């Protein structure tokens, strides 16, 4: 089942709305919510638009639509097609309700009134067996549209966190290498210049004295 839901703005990670979780759910998901924040800080407009991230007994699903991230934490056994159908419904209603206001939001959870729709939709998706056949057909179509994305974009939370740390180190290493490379190029130019001076200085000296001799000799 869907355990928790949060809606973020992509460019700054500002939380816009969230489900109202009870105390036991909040306590159980504290670590997973902290992990999700680390992931979402790295997302941008060019990130993958849909992804499932496995983390122990839960799976985090997100969908990016019009610069907004819709995220839910579900039991790992919960069908992926239902999770993305759930997020798709949230995205459509959220855009319909707050279109034109999202970019202007300045405080966290500026649209907490949306939790009413989140709660209603969560109850609808709580038990996949309670869905009607008509809804099932709609979900099958959604699953058909998303199957390539969800098959490819299934990741492990620990791998993502480790990979992000590795990328940060590689970025720092790349900067250091560029700095060192610039130093080596400068040193190489100095060495080449010194070599040229050593090579041509004697000839230049002889030429200078020859010109000086000729000047005194004939002038």
Q: What percent of the chain has pLDDT above 70?
A: 60
pLDDT at res. 53: 85
Domain membership flag for residue 178:
no
Residue 207: both structure tokens together: 């030429």
Cβ count near 174 (within 10 Å):
10
User: Which domain does 119 fall in, by range?
Assistant: 2-152
Q: What is the CATH number of the domain that holds 88?
A: 3.30.450.50
Domain membership flag for residue 215:
no
| CA dist., res. 101 & res. 24, Å (int) | 33
Q: Quick one: average pLDDT of 155-184? A: 50
- Least Cα distance to 85 among 157, 33, 137, 48 occurs for 137
Higher pLDDT, 171 or 72: 72
Domain membership flag for residue 205:
no
DSSP 3-state assignment of 115? helix
Domain membership flag for residue 213:
no
Domain membership flag for residue 166:
no
- Least Cα distance to 157 among 67, 66, 84, 76 occurs for 76
User: What does the angle CA 128 – CA 82 – CA 9 come to, to the nearest 5 degrees?
Assistant: 135
- Look at the chain and report how many structural domains it folds into: 1
Domain membership flag for residue 175:
no
The HSE-up count of residue 35 (CA atoms within 13 Å, CB side) is 21
Domain membership flag for residue 104:
yes
Residue-wise pLDDT for 29-64, tens only, equals 888 888 878 777 777 777 788 888 888 889 999 998
Q: Is the pLDDT of residue 190 over 70?
A: no
- Which of 25-34, 35-44, 78-87, 186-195 bottoms out in mean pLDDT, i.e. has the lowest? 186-195
């Amino acid at each position: 089942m869907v355990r928790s839901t949060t809606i973020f703005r992509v460019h700054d990670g500002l939380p816009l709305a969230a489900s109202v979780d009870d105390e036991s759910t909040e306590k159980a998901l504290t670590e997973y919510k902290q992990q999700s924040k680390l992931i979402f800080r790295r997302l941008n407009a060019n990130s993958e638009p849909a992804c499932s991230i496995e983390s122990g007994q839960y799976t985090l699903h997100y969908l990016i639509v019009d610069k907004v991230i819709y995220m839910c934490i579900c039991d790992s056994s919960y069908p992926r097609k239902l999770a993305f159908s759930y997020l798709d419904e949230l995205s459509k209603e959220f855009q319909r309700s707050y279109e034109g206001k999202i970019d202007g939001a300045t405080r966290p959870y500026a649209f907490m009134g949306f939790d009413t729709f989140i709660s209603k939709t969560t109850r609808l998706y709580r038990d996949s067996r309670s869905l009607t056949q008509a809804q099932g057909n709609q979900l099958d179509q959604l699953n058909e549209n998303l199957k390539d994305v969800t098959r490819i974009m299934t990741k492990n939370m620990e791998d993502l966190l480790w990979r992000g740390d590795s990328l940060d180190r590689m970025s720092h290493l790349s900067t250091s290498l560029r700095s060192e490379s610039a130093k080596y190029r400068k040193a190489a130019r100095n060495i080449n210049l010194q070599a040229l001076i050593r090579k041509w200085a004697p000839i230049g000296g002889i030429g200078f004295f020859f010109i000086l001799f000729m000047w005194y000799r004939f002038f």
